[in-house]
């Protein structure tokens, strides 16, 4: 049996750009030091994944990101036997790999995964810090530097996609939201190279769409959408067209709502 | 083949029977219609049915005039002619409605403009969302012949017919809505402090002149225009493209240039007004989207809102302090020490900062939103409002209770007693509410079928989307048998075999319906305020819901609730979990009637108890409501909200997931507090309720 994972497979060499919204960096560092797993809450596209990349760079640990989907099973995380050249060989899953090499493991949108996956992380997420591998009989003890982080979007209005208390009470929770206007403008400028004025108009547009949340719109435009729009504009696409394709059409299919969002767009640009 | 006179006469008589008499027949209409083509006849008969559904008399007038109308206009225009008359009937009644049908000449004369005019009715929804996007504050759109704003609503004209093309007219309507929003946003009615003199008073101090109001409004409108141009450059560009916008003379232009500076405020407008009045400068032409101004209404509304905001602010700050206290992040340990809270909104980027005892704290989003809203009314929030935590022990409102209404005469309905949470005492009032489980008198039996016929397309759509939910096929891996081979499992089994372990037989993929195990309970608000449209919509919503849920197979129960005082809370059983959807349930739905008040807490407690006997993986309690909890004996305001909230927390502790669907546009002000940030949906139009309820449910259990 051999471990196929490369050493330090995703160590960040340069600093991933991240602007702190509050004290999340200090909080994360403190939790990391104390071996406490972390739950990131917040709407889509507000910088959770980027924050993880930044923290991995800061703590000089590799980052293993798993985007959870509804077909993700426990063995997808832990690992499985495969046949290699007529021999059976155990291949670690991303979680086991992270546990072994002391990486930061980030399970994105954990509620999307099958229920059995959340159970796998339970022994890892308390003071035992172990990952039992049923198939090999191994009780994998987490490396000193291993850290578990999961993310979850509480804005989903589905009763079936809720995090169980037994899971959520193992984590400290850091809440994310859209950055303040100035900070968000700064982020858009930095990420896209757009001039400050246009960037601040984009942010203003995003705030307007966020005002519509709850009245037909599930989520307002995220920072990520603004970055997309900014990049389109930088590639020579007309501002109005960029806003329509990257923001309005991306947000909703409902014609009435779409008309209103476009109306706001034409008033702005 | 066109219909003959006799055939037509028979048809018309059948439809118009109630309004016909021996002297009033349809023979003439039938004769003239028989001359028309088959297509025109069909058109007329189809519209006759539509018009008769509104009013039979109007239908009679329609059929007597339609042949003449069709001879002079194409069918598309005739349709406009009927729709126009129906609109007039809806708004002004039968007489003006029939007049519109008779005066075909007038209609034809104006038909050119009819095609270009923009009606508020068609744009209202779009504009509502547009305004909501612009401002966080929820602004209503109403119609009025004098477009103005009272800071709560924006009043727009029914029709805009300023330009000869539709696009420009639409733009004017949008610009007008934006302009009226701008008056609120850019501080036309803003005061420095709550005690500072309002605009009305300040204007009365200026020299008297017949044109005073108009000059002030014209100047202020130009200032607002400039603000909007800076904020919304896209709109400015579109407006600049409009032709025929009046230009100003040199004096006005000077004033406008100064007022257009970003630093100008309402104070500058007043200064210039004084100057203009002194020099007796004549009025200028105002732009078509400026509307008018109603200072009195605006100040009234803004004053009321400020009073409300003041108490809510005190509450939010108190909550913040409690939260900080709990986190121990306040520096002072002595709780009785006076806290100094100050707000800094003077920094140029308009970022507010709140500090307590000199230390900056992070504001919760509700508090930030409230403060931002208040800063539209006031330049500066007085410090004593921020430090109002001492005087929040306000009158309880519920101490006027015990009106000694006689409890309902003894009857055989089952009786239950429930505690109620008193948020001021921070304790339950024991056995405070008496709840009767009552039967609903059956309504007419055809109701359900009529509703289904009315909404047949919607029912079809809902059935389809619910079927998708039901049939959401899940592929189960590693099954002992199934319809495909699970490659992962086969590989794994092979590895096991080679390693000398036992090979599993679970090698197949099986596609199976996901087993939904959901029990849902609907509690429907039957308070007196639902009378009219709302209860109709609720009834229809329940019909559509039952149809859809039957497809889905989720277990469901429906209860209505109302009551009067704590001694007579009533629960009406519409459908229990154990009952199947049958004729008698349909009749109970039809029999739903608005009753008295809304005491929500006790109902939630009772339904929680009922729900607790049901075993399901997900249990939902969905409330259909039209407003805040409210009862005759002081169960309103904070008391009602806090008790309801407590009852919902109790339900949540029992593993029941509460959700609320409301048609109260203000719902998002208090529902997050009661139900949680995401556990509610606001339906902004009653007419959409029937469809929305099912769609929300679909979304909720997806």
Choosing from A143, A175, A207, the residue where a domain stops is A175
Q: Is A2 within the bounds of a domain?
A: no
Q: What is the pLDDT of residue A102?
A: 92
Sheet holding B353-356, edge to edge: B341-344, B353-356, B359-361
Q: What is the DSSP letter of B598?
A: B
Contact between B28 and B64 under an 8 Å Cβ cutoff? The reply is yes
Same domain, A122 and A169: yes
Closest partner residue to A158 among B238, B349, B702, by Cβ?
Answer: B702
Residues 7-26 of A with CB under 8 A from B: 22
Q: Could you tell me the pLDDT band of residue B349, with boundaries at 50, 70 and 90? A: very low
Q: What is the pLDDT of residues B294-333, one digit of tens each?
A: 888 888 888 888 888 888 888 888 777 777 777 665 555 4
B136: contact with A, CB 8 A cutoff:
yes
Q: Higher model confidence: residue B677 or residue A8?
A: B677
User: What is the rounded average pLDDT for all residues in chain B?
Assistant: 81
Could you report the per-residue pLDDT of B373-386, keeping only the tens digit for each?
A: 787 788 777 777 77
Distance from CA of A146 to the nearest CA of B (A): 29
> What's the pLDDT score for residue B405?
42
Higher-pLDDT residue of B354 and B558 is B558
pLDDT at residue B485 tops 50: yes
> Residue B63: enclosing H or E segment and its boundaries?
helix B56-72
- Domains in chain B and their CATH numbers? 5-116 (no CATH), 120-293 (no CATH), 302-388 (no CATH), 473-513 (no CATH), 516-700 (3.40.50.410)
pLDDT of residue B412: 64
**A103 pLDDT more than 50:** yes
Give residue B549's pLDDT band: very low, low, confident or very high (50, 70, 90). Answer: confident
User: Residue B400 pLDDT more than 50?
Assistant: no
| A65 phi and psi angles, rounded to 5 deg | -105, 130
**Which of A124, A155, A175 is at the close of a domain?**
A175
Is the same domain home to A105 and A153?
Answer: yes
**pLDDT > 90: percent of chain B:** 5
> What pLDDT, on the 0 to 100 scale, is given for residue A9?
57
Contact by Cβ (8 Å): B636, B527? no
Q: What is the pLDDT of residue B408?
A: 43
Q: Does B478 touch chain A (CB under 8 A)?
A: no
pLDDT band for position B341 (cuts 50, 70, 90): low
**Residue B512 pLDDT exceeds 70:** no
> Do residues A157 and A185 share a domain?
no
Structural domain contains residue A18:
no
A206 and A74 assigned to the same domain: no
Q: How far is A61 from chain B (nearest CA, A)?
A: 31
**What are A111-135's pLDDT values in tens digits?**
888 777 888 899 999 889 999 998 8
Answer whether residue A65 is part of any domain: yes
In a domain, A1, yes or no: no
pLDDT value at A183 more than 50: yes
**A236 backbone φψ class: left, alpha, beta (φ>0; ψ -120 to 50):** left
Nearest residue to B562 via CA among B599, B609, B507, B531: B599
pLDDT value of position B402: 40
A45 lies in the same domain as A160: yes
Distances (CA, A) of B509 to A70, B470, B474, B486: 16, 20, 10, 5
Yes or no: say if A248 and A258 are a contact pair by the CB < 8 Å rule. yes
How distant is the alpha carbon of residue B388 from its chain centre?
32
Indicate whether B69 pLDDT > 90.
Answer: no
Q: What average pLDDT does the segment B570-595 reach?
A: 88
A6 found inside a domain: no
Residue with tokens 């005087």: B391
Dump pLDDT digits (tens) for A148-158.
999 988 876 56
- Compute the distance between CA of residue B551 and CA of residue B461 in angstroms, rounded to an integer: 12
The total number of residues shown for chain A amounts to 269
- With beta carbons less than 8 A apart as the criterion, state whether B198 and B301 touch: no
pLDDT confidence of residue A201:
93
Residue A79 sits in the same domain as residue A156: yes
Radius of gyration of chain A (CA): 21
Query: How far off is chain B from A126, nearest CA to CA, in Å?
Result: 23
DSSP A10: T
Q: What's the rounded Cα separation, in Å, for the pair B631 and B153?
A: 28
* Comparison of pLDDT for B474 and A90, the residue scoring more: A90
Our count of domains for chain A comes to 2
Give pLDDT, residue A1. Answer: 32
Tens-place pLDDT, residues B444-479 = 777 888 888 888 778 877 777 777 776 556 778 888
Asked if residue A78 is part of any domain, the answer here is yes
Residues B204-260 pLDDT 10s? 888 887 788 888 888 999 999 999 999 899 998 888 888 777 778 888 888 888 888
Name the band, by pLDDT with cuts 50, 70 and 90, for residue A159.
low
Residue A64's domain comprises 24-175
Cα–Cα distance, B638 to B628 (Å, whole number): 10
How many interface pairs between A and B have CB atoms less than 8 angstroms apart?
107
Helix (H) or strand (E) holding B416: strand B415-422
pLDDT exceeds 70 at position A170 = yes
* B343 close to B157: Cβ distance less than 8 angstroms: no
Q: B424 to each of A152, B142, B319, B420, B642, how far by Cα in Å?
A: 36, 39, 14, 12, 10
CB contact under 8 A, B129 and A215: yes
CB atoms within 10 A of CB B360: 10
Same domain, residue pair A33 and A156: yes
Asked if pLDDT for residue A167 goes beyond 50, the answer is yes
Q: What is the CATH number of the domain that holds A92?
A: 3.40.50.300
Confidence of residue A71 (pLDDT cuts 50, 70, 90): confident
Integer-rounded Cα Rg, in Å, for chain B is 32
Same domain membership, residue A202 and residue A136:
no
State the best of B234, B235, B498, B657 to mutate against chain A, taking most chain A CBs within 10 Å: B234
pLDDT of residue B559: 92
Based on the fold, state whether residues A201 and A169 are members of the same structural domain: no
- Chain A residues whose CB is inside 8 A of the B492 CB are 80-81
- CB spacing of B351 vs A181 below 8 angstroms: yes
Residue A15 lies in a domain: no
Q: Which residue of B has its CA nearest to A156?
A: B678
Task: For residue B8, count other CB atoms closer than 10 A to its CB.
Answer: 24
Q: B456, exposed or middle or buried, with CB in 10 Å at 0-12, 13-18, 19+?
A: exposed
A128 and A239 belong to one structural domain: no
- Provide the pLDDT for residue B406: 41
Residue A255, domain member (yes or no) = yes
In this structure, are A189 and A139 located in the same domain? no
Residues 6 or more apart whose Cβ sits within 8 Å of residue B215: B209, B273, B276, B277, B281, B283
Confidence check: pLDDT of B136 > 80 = no
Does residue B684 belong to the interface with chain A, where contact is any CB pair within 8 Å? Answer: yes
Domain boundary among A175, A210, A243: A175
Nearest to A171 by CA among A34, A23, A26, A19: A34
User: pLDDT confidence of B698, banded at 50, 70, 90?
Assistant: confident
Test B234 with A265 for CB contact under 8 angstroms: yes
Q: Please give the Cα distance from B198 to B19 (Å, whole number).
A: 58
Q: What is the pLDDT of residues A184-224, one digit of tens each?
A: 999 999 999 999 999 999 999 999 998 887 666 778 899 99
Does the beta carbon of A255 lie under 8 angstroms from any beta carbon of chain B? no
For A70, which residue in chain B has the nearest alpha carbon? B474
Same domain for A244 and A134 = no
Best of A183, A260, A262, A265 to mutate (most B CBs within 10 Å, chain B): A260
Residue B501 forms contact with A (CB below 8 Å): no
Average pLDDT over residues B585-613: 88
- Residue that the structure tokens 């009226």 belong to: B180
User: Of B238, B488, B495, which is closest to A88 when you measure between CB atoms?
Assistant: B495
């Amino acid at each position: 049996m051999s471990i196929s994972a490369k050493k330090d497979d995703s160590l960040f060499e340069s600093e991933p750009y991240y602007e702190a919204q509050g004290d999340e960096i200090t909080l994360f560092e403190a939790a990391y030091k104390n071996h406490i797993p972390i739950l990131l809450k917040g709407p889509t596209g507000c910088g959770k994944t980027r924050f993880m990349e930044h923290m991995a760079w800061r703590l000089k640990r590799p980052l293993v990101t798993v985007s959870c989907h509804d077909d993700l099973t426990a063995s997808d995380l832990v690992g499985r036997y495969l046949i290699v050249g007529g021999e059976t060989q155990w291949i670690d899953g991303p979680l086991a790999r992270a546990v072994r090499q002391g990486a930061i493991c980030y399970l994105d949108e954990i509620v999307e995964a099958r229920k059995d996956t959340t159970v796998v992380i339970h022994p890892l997420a308390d003071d035992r810090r172990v990952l039992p591998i049923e198939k090999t009989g191994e009780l994998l003890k987490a490396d000193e530097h291993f850290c578990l982080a999961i993310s979850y979007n509480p804005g989903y209005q589905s009763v079936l996609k809720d995090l169980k208390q037994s899971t959520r009470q193992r984590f400290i929770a850091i809440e994310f939201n859209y950055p303040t206007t100035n900070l968000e403008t700064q982020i858009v400028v930095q990420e896209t190279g757009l001039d400050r004025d246009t960037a601040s108009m984009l942010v203003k547009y995003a705030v307007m769409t966020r005002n519509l949340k709850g009245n037909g719109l599930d989520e307002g435009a995220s920072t990520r959408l603004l970055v997309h729009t900014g990049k389109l504009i930088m590639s020579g696409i007309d501002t109005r067209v960029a806003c329509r394709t990257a923001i309005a059409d991306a947000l909703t299919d409902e014609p009435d709502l779409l008309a209103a969002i476009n109306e706001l767009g034409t008033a702005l640009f | 083949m066109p219909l003959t006179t006799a055939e037509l006469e028979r048809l018309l008589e059948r439809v118009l029977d109630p309004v016909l008499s021996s002297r009033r027949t349809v023979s003439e209409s039938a004769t003239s219609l028989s001359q028309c083509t088959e297509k025109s006849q069909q058109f007329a008969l189809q519209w006759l049915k539509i018009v008769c559904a509104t009013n039979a008399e109007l239908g009679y007038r329609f059929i007597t005039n339609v042949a003449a109308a069709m001879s002079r206009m194409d069918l598309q225009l005739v349709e406009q002619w009927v729709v126009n008359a129906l609109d007039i009937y809806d708004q002004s009644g039968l007489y003006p409605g029939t007049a519109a049908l008779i005066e075909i000449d007038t209609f034809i004369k104006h038909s050119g403009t009819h095609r270009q005019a923009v009606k508020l009715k068609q744009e209202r929804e779009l504009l509502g969302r547009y305004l909501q996007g612009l401002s966080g504050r929820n602004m209503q759109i109403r119609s009025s012949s004098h477009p103005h704003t009272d800071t709560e609503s924006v009043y727009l004209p029914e029709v805009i017919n300023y330009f000869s093309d539709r696009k420009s007219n639409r733009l004017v309507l949008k610009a007008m809505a934006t302009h009226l929003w701008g008056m609120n946003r850019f501080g036309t009615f803003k005061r420095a402090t709550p005690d500072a003199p309002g605009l009305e008073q300040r204007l009365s101090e200026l020299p008297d002149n017949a044109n005073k109001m108009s000059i002030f409004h014209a100047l202020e409108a130009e200032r607002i225009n400039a603000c909007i141009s800076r904020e919304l450059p896209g709109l400015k560009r579109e407006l600049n493209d409009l032709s025929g916008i009046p230009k100003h003379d040199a004096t006005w232009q000077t004033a406008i240039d100064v007022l257009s500076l970003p630093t100008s405020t309402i104070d500058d407008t007043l200064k210039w007004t004084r100057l203009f009045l002194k020099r007796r400068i004549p009025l200028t032409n105002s732009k078509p989207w400026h509307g008018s101004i109603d200072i009195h209404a605006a100040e009234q509304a803004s004053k009321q809102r400020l009073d409300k905001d003041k108490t809510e602010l005190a509450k939010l700050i108190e909550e913040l302090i409690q939260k900080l206290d709990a986190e121990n992040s306040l520096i002072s340990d002595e709780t009785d020490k006076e806290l100094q809270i100050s707000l800094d909104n003077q920094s140029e980027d308009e970022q507010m900062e709140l500090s307590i005892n000199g230390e900056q704290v992070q504001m919760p989003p509700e508090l930030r939103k409230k403060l931002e809203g208040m800063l539209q009314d006031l330049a500066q929030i007085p410090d004593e409002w921020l430090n109002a935590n001492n005087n929040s022990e306000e009158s309880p409102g519920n101490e006027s209770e015990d009106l000694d209404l006689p409890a309902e005469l003894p009857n055989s309905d089952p009786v239950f007693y429930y505690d109620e949470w008193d948020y001021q005492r921070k304790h339950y009032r024991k056995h405070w509410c008496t709840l009767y489980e009552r039967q609903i008198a059956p309504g007419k039996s055809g109701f359900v079928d009529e509703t289904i016929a009315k909404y047949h397309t919607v029912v079809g759509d809902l059935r389809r989307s619910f079927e998708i939910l039901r049939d959401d096929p899940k592929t189960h891996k590693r099954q002992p048998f199934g319809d495909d081979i699970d490659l992962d499992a086969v590989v794994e089994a092979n590895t096991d075999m080679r390693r000398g372990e036992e090979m599993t037989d679970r090698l197949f993929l099986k596609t199976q319906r996901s087993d939904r195990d959901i029990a849902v309970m609907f509690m429907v608000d039957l308070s007196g305020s639902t009378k009219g449209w709302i209860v109709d919509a609720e009834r229809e919503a329940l019909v559509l819901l039952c149809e859809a849920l039957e497809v889905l197979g989720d277990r469901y129960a429906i209860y209505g609730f109302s009551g009067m005082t704590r001694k007579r809370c009533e629960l009406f059983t519409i459908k229990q979990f154990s009952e199947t959807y049958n004729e008698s349930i349909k009749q109970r739905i039809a029999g739903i009637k608005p009753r008295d008040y809304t005491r929500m807490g006790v109902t939630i407690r009772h339904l929680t108890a009922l729900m607790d006997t049901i075993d399901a993986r997900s249990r939902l309690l969905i409330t259909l409501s039209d407003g805040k909890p409210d009862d005759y004996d002081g169960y309103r305001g904070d008391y009602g909200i806090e008790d309801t909230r407590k009852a919902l927390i109790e339900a949540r502790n029992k593993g029941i997931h509460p959700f609320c669907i409301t048609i109260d546009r203000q719902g998002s002000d208090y529902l997050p507090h009661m139900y949680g940030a995401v556990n509610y949906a606001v339906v902004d139009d009653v007419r959409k309720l029937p469809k929305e309820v099912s769609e929300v449910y679909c979304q909720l259990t997806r």
